[in-house]
Amino acid sequence: MDNFRKMWTELGMDLELHDQLIQDMSSLHKKTHLSQQNRPKTMDRFDRSFHSSHSGRVAEILEFRKNGGKMIGTFCIFVPDEIALAAGVLPLPLCGGSGWAVSYADKLFPRDICPLIRSTFGMALSKTCPYASLEDFAVGETTCDAKKKTWDLLGMKVMEVPQRRNEADRNLWLEEVYRFKGMVEELSGITVTADGLLETIKLVNQKRSALQQIDEFRKLDAPPISGLDALLVAQVSMNQDIHAFIKDTQALIEELQERVDKGISAYSEQGKKILLAGSPSPMGYAKVHHIVENSGLQIVADESCTGLRYFRDLVNEDLNDLDEMMKAVADRYFGIDCACFSPNSERIENIQKLIKDYNVKGVVQSILQYCHTYNVEAKIVEKSLKKIGIPSIKIVTDYSQEDIGQIRTRIEAFAELLMD
Amino acid sequence: MDNFRKMWTELGMDLELHDQLIQDMSSLHKKTHLSQQNRPKTMDRFDRSFHSSHSGRVAEILEFRKNGGKMIGTFCIFVPDEIALAAGVLPLPLCGGSGWAVSYADKLFPRDICPLIRSTFGMALSKTCPYASLEDFAVGETTCDAKKKTWDLLGMKVMEVPQRRNEADRNLWLEEVYRFKGMVEELSGITVTADGLLETIKLVNQKRSALQQIDEFRKLDAPPISGLDALLVAQVSMNQDIHAFIKDTQALIEELQERVDKGISAYSEQGKKILLAGSPSPMGYAKVHHIVENSGLQIVADESCTGLRYFRDLVNEDLNDLDEMMKAVADRYFGIDCACFSPNSERIENIQKLIKDYNVKGVVQSILQYCHTYNVEAKIVEKSLKKIGIPSIKIVTDYSQEDIGQIRTRIEAFAELLMD
C-alpha cells in the first residue's frame, strides 16, 4: 500500500481526497455487491480488479508506459479498441461512476449536465483520477451535447459519431475510424497492419464473447449470477488488462456452469425477470441495479453501454485485407444502438428481442439525470413495451444517495405490480 | 374577431385555452415592448404582426392552402427557406416562446428539457397552436439532443446537421439539402429550377439584408431602436409574409434614418452597450432582453438565432447553375455558428468581431435551461471574453416569470460593475 501512496504522489494526486474517494467507493461496494448472499466465488477476482483500478492497474500502466507504451483515455464505447490496440496503444475508458467526485466538477461545468461527465472531470479536477496524468491524450466523441461541448471546452480530440444511419453517415463514420487510426499510429509510431488488426479484432472479440457467454447463463430459470455481479464484470472489462480479464472470465464461466449443474442460483428467492435499459452505469455506480435486485426482482439483461450494447456485436474475423477489416470494424460500431441516432428503431427491435430471449417480465429504464437522449427515447421505449404488454418504469436519477428511499418505494410498487 | 373565432374552431383549437394564451402573450407584450418610452412609430406595424400571428396571418395561410399552397413547420434556422420557397412551399418556424404553454407538454416530455421545445409542443398539445393542423409536415433537425429525440418521438422528417466542419460533414450536409429539396418538391409537385431558386435566394437575401440594415443603426452612439424592438422585428421576420415584412422594414429603416438625422435615440439615458449571446428568444419571449434594457443597459447586438445568427450571412447570388446554387445555399447554412458544432471557434471569432464593430462593453449570455450546447459553450465564450477584458454574465433561465426578481438583481449588479 505504501508503494501505491508513493505512486499516487508521483502522479500529482491529492492523497487526502483520494483516500476519501476510495473509502466512499469501497463502502458502496460493500453495501451493494458484497452484501449479496449467493455470489459465485470467482467474483472475488472481479472485486479485486475493481479495487485495483486505482492501484495495481495504475501501476501496470505506469510500467507499460515506462517501457514506451502509450495510453489514451476514452469516454464512450464508440471509440474502437481494436484499432488502438493494433497500433500498440492502450485505450482506457475513463467514465466516472463516483458520486463523491461530482461536486468537484462545479467549477468547470454547469450543474445541470449528467453526473457521468461531472464525476469523470470531478475526479480529474480534485486530483483523484490516477489516469489523468497517464494518458497521452483523450479521445471524445459526439454522442451527446454535454460530452460534445465538454471536448470543446477542454480542447480534446474528437471522433464524430453521425446522427443518422444513411449511407452518407456510414461514409462519414468510416472516415472517422480511419482518422482515429491515424491518431493512434502517430502517437505510437506503429503502423496498423492487416495481421496486427486481425489479431486485435480476434482478441477483442474473445473478450466480448466471454461477456456474451456469461450473459447466456442469465437466460436460465435460475440464473447463477446476479445482475449486480454481471454489471461488475462488464465494468471491470473496461479497465482490467484484456488478457487477465479473459482469463478471469473463463474461471467465472466454469464456476457458473458448475453452479447450474448443481442447481445453485444467485437469487435465494424466485423473482420476476427484469431488463435494465437506458444510460450506462460506469464503475462505482450500481445504485439502480442494487435497489432493483434488493426488491426481489432479477436483472437478467442489461441493454446499456455497460451491458449488451458493449458486447452484443463482434467484428467479422473472416477477412484478409486491411481496408476490409477497417470497414468491418467501422460497421460493427456503426451498428451500436445508441440513443444518439435519429431514429433509433434498431434499439426498439433489440429490446423486443431481449424480452423474448431472456423471458423478461418487466423493464426498468434507468436514466441518468439530464441525459436528454435516453430520457426522451424512454417514451418511445415505453410505448413499444405497452404494445406487447410489458410493464415498465422509468427512474431518472444521479449518483447521489439521497433519492434511494424514493426509488426503492417506486421499485417495490413496480415489483408488486409484476407479481399480480 | 368573430371570424377568427370561427377559424380557430374550424382548426380544431381549444378556444378557451387559446384565449388564455393570447391574453398572456398580450399582457407580456404590453409590459415589455409597449412600456418603452422612445419607440419608432413604425414599430406599431410589428406589434400588429406579432398580434396577428395567431389570427390574420393564420387566415392568410389558410387562404394560401385553399388555393393549393403547401406549408411546412420548421424549428430551426438550419432549414433552408430559399429551397422551400423555390418549390412553392411556405416554411414557417414554429418555435414556441410562450411560458403559458410549457406545462401542457408534461404529458409528452420530461420536464428537464428546454422550455422552447416544451412551449412549442405544449401549444400543440393544448390545441392552442393554429398551425398544428395547417402544416403539411414538419421538418426537424439534429442540432440538439432534446430536439433530435423529439422528432423521433413524433416520427417527424429530419434534416441531419453534422457536428463538425470537416469535408465529410460538408458533403453530408449538401446531401441533406438535396434531400430537403426532394421533400418539398414531392410535397408541392413543383420542381425547383435555377431561375426559381435564384429568385427565392434574392428574396430571402433581401429580407436578411433589411435586418442587417436595421442592425447597422445599432452601431451608432445613440441607437434609434432598442434591443427589445430589434428582437421583435427579428421574431416577426420568421412569421410574417416575406413581402409584407420587407415592406414594413423599409418603412422602419426610413424612420430610423430620420431619427438619426434628428438625433433621436431609443434610450432616454446613456447606457453601456451590451451584446446578447446564447440561446434563441422565440416570439413571445423577451424576458432577458427586457430586464437588461430596464437596468439601464443597451442591447446593441444579439448574436443568437433570433438575431445575427439568422441574418448575418447571405447566399451568393452570382450563379446560374442549379447545382452551384444548391451548393451556395448549403454553404451559407453550413457557416451558421451554432453551438451544435464541435469545435465552434467561428462563433468565438464572430463574437470578438461584434464587440469591436458594435463597441460593446459587456456581454449577457442568455441560456435557456437544459440547453447543454450553449450552456457548456458559455464557458468557452466567457474565457475568450476575459482575455480581451470584456465582462460577461451568464443567465440560465426558462420562460417562467418567477426568477425575474433574481435576474434583475444580478443584471443590475452587472450594470454597476460596467459603470466603474
Question: CB count, 10 Å around CB of B141?
Answer: 25
Give me the residue from A113, A175, A375 closest to B168, CB to CB. Answer: A175
pLDDT confidence band for A397 (50 / 70 / 90): very high
Q: Which residue has the cell 423599409?
A: B250
Percent of chain B with pLDDT over 90: 98
Inter-chain contacts counted by CB atoms under 8 A, chains A and B: 139
User: Is the Cβ pair A145, B150 closer than 8 Å?
Assistant: no
Q: Span A360-379, mean pLDDT?
A: 98
**Bridge-partner residues for A298, per DSSP?**
A273
A220 secondary structure, DSSP code: S
Does residue B1 have a pLDDT over 80?
A: no
pLDDT confidence band for B166 (50 / 70 / 90): very high
Interface test with A, best of B78, B149, B394 (most A CBs within 10 A): B149
B164 to chain A: which residues are within 8 Å by CB?
A: 142, 158, 160
Does residue A372 have a pLDDT over 90?
A: yes
User: Is the Cβ pair A164, B158 closer than 8 Å?
Assistant: yes
Tens of pLDDT, residues B88-113: 999 999 999 999 999 999 989 999 99
Question: CB count, 10 Å around CB of A354?
Answer: 22
Angle between helices B372-387 and B345-357 (to 10 degrees): 50
Does residue A89 have a pLDDT over 80?
A: yes
Q: What pLDDT is stored for residue B249 in this prediction?
A: 98
Angle between helices A322-334 and A167-188 (to 10 degrees): 120
What part of A 103-122 touches B (C-beta under 8 Å)?
A: 108-110, 112-113
pLDDT confidence band for A420 (50 / 70 / 90): confident
ipTM: 0.95
User: Is the Cβ pair A109, B168 closer than 8 Å?
Assistant: no
Q: Where are the beta strands (DSSP E) in A326-377?
A: 362-368
Q: Span B387-393, mean pLDDT?
A: 98
pLDDT confidence band for A360 (50 / 70 / 90): very high
The residue type at B111: R
Cα–Cα distance for residue pair A191/A88, rounded to 1 Å:
9
Tens of pLDDT, residues B178-233: 999 999 999 999 999 999 999 999 999 999 999 999 999 999 999 999 999 999 99
Q: Could you tell me if A377 lies within 8 Å of chain B, comparing CB atoms? A: yes
Give me the residue from A110, A164, A175 closest to B160, CB to CB. Answer: A164
Q: Is the peptide bond before B391 cis (omega within 30 degrees of 0)?
A: no
A158 to chain B: which residues are within 8 Å by CB?
A: 164, 342
Q: Could you tell me if B172 lies within 8 Å of chain A, comparing CB atoms? A: yes
Reading the block at residue A345, the C-alpha cell is: 428503431
Contact A166, A173 (CB under 8 A): no
Give me the residue from B110, B142, B380 closest to A152, CB to CB. Answer: B380
Q: What pLDDT is stored for residue A383 in this prediction?
A: 97
Contact partners, residue B7, CB within 8 Å, separation at least 6: B55, B58, B59, B62, B130
Give backbone dihedrals phi and psi of A205, rounded to 5 degrees, phi first: -60, -40
Q: What pLDDT is stored for residue A419 in this prediction?
A: 86
Question: CB count, 10 Å around CB of A420?
Answer: 5
User: Is the Cβ pair B164, A163 closer than 8 Å?
Assistant: no
Tens of pLDDT, residues B105-137: 998 999 999 999 999 999 999 999 999 999 999
Task: For residue A400, give the H/E element and its range.
Answer: none
Task: For residue A83, give the H/E element and its range.
Answer: helix A81-86
B168 to chain A: which residues are within 8 Å by CB?
A: 171-172, 175-176
B110 to chain A: which residues are within 8 Å by CB?
A: 372, 375-376, 378, 396
For A168, nearest residue in chain B (alpha carbons): B172
* Cα four-point dihedral sign B410, B406, A402, A281: negative
CA distance A342 to chain B (A): 6
DSSP H helical segments within B94-240, as ranges?
115-125, 145-154, 167-188, 194-217, 227-237
User: Is the Cβ pair B152, A373 closer than 8 Å?
Assistant: no
B151 to chain A: which residues are within 8 Å by CB?
A: 342
Interface test with B, best of A372, A374, A397 (most B CBs within 10 A): A372
Q: Span B77-87, mean pLDDT?
A: 98
Does residue A5 have a pLDDT over 80?
A: yes
State how far Cα A184 lies from the chain centre: 22
User: Is the Cβ pair A149, B110 closer than 8 Å?
Assistant: no
User: Is the Cβ pair A142, B158 closer than 8 Å?
Assistant: no
Domain span at B72: 2-419
Give me the residue from B146, B162, B163 closest to A376, CB to CB. Answer: B146
Interface test with B, best of A109, A111, A114, A148 (most B CBs within 10 A): A148
State how far Cα A87 lies from the chain centre: 23
Reading the block at residue B420, the C-alpha cell is: 466603474
Does residue A162 have a pLDDT over 90?
A: yes
Contact A325, A237 (CB under 8 A): no
Give how many domains chain A has, as a whole number. 1
Q: Could you tell me if B166 lies within 8 Å of chain A, comparing CB atoms? A: yes
What is the residue-averaged pLDDT of chain B? 97
The residue type at B75: F
B76 to chain A: which residues are within 8 Å by CB?
A: none
Cα–Cα distance for residue pair A31/A39, rounded to 1 Å:
14
Tens of pLDDT, residues B256-286: 999 999 999 999 998 999 999 999 999 999 9
Indicate the SS3 state at residue A71.
strand
Give backbone dihedrals phi and psi of B277, rounded to 5 degrees, phi first: -130, 155
Interface test with B, best of A114, A149, A375 (most B CBs within 10 A): A149
Q: Span A88-102, mean pLDDT?
A: 96
Q: Span B42-49, mean pLDDT?
A: 98
Give me the residue from B150, B160, B168 closest to A171, CB to CB. Answer: B168
User: Is the Cβ pair B339, A149 closer than 8 Å?
Assistant: yes
